[in-house]
Amino acid sequence: MVTVELQYAVTEIALPEEAQFESWAKVIETPNNDPQVVAIRIVNEQEMSALNNQYRQKEGSTNVLSFPAELHDEVDLPFIGDVVICAPIVIKEAHKQGKTEESHWAHMTVHGILHLQGYDHAYEAEALQMESLEIKIMQQLGFDNPYL
């Protein structure tokens, strides 16, 4: 089971509560059912743009970034990394795509955590695997296919 440590760097807009993030994360399966801990930070466009530039050498903001933990082998902690979600981008995308804000928040949370677990979408075969898993998880959460 995945548990969440949440940080809000944005407070001026309505955001999902910690319990919602926890409910979305806990349905994600973990290898051998081992516990995993993820830090989720909710940010504004300025902070996300700085992170995107620093770590991906890309200009501008994006919806979600994942940063896998880099722990020494002798450190035995269930922490797998950080997920950073840009609140204004998620809200804009939800409206533009005709989705509820809640479903898009859930999708970005699931998407970010799956990246920490090693899933990727750089190549078509990887993308199909990751997207099918995201669709399955979103359906378990009671949401529609996020890619329609």
Partnered with residue 66 across adjacent β-strands are 83
Report CA-CA distances (Å) from 15 to 7, 35, 79, 120: 12, 26, 24, 27
Q: For 109, which DSSP code? A: H
Q: By three-state DSSP, how is residue 104 classified?
A: helix
What's the pLDDT at 2? 95
What's the pLDDT at 133? 97
In tens digits, the chain (148 residues) has pLDDT values of 899 999 999 988 999 999 999 999 999 999 888 999 999 999 999 999 999 999 999 999 999 999 999 877 777 779 999 999 999 999 999 999 999 999 999 999 999 999 999 999 999 999 999 999 999 999 999 999 999 8
Q: Please report which residue ranges of the chain form alpha helices under DSSP H.
A: 18-26, 45-56, 87-97, 101-116, 124-140
Domains and CATH numbers, the chain: 2-140 (3.40.390.30)
CB 87 within 8 A of CB 43: yes
Q: Pull the structure tokens for residue 137.
A: 């998880």
Q: Pull the structure tokens for residue 10.
A: 């944005």
CB 138 within 8 A of CB 103: yes
What's the pLDDT at 56? 95
Q: How are beta strands 36-43 and 2-8 bridged, if at all?
A: parallel
Model confidence, pTM: 0.94
What's the pLDDT at 106? 98
CB 84 within 8 A of CB 51: yes
What's the pLDDT at 71? 77
CA dihedral sign of residues 95, 99, 103, 104: negative
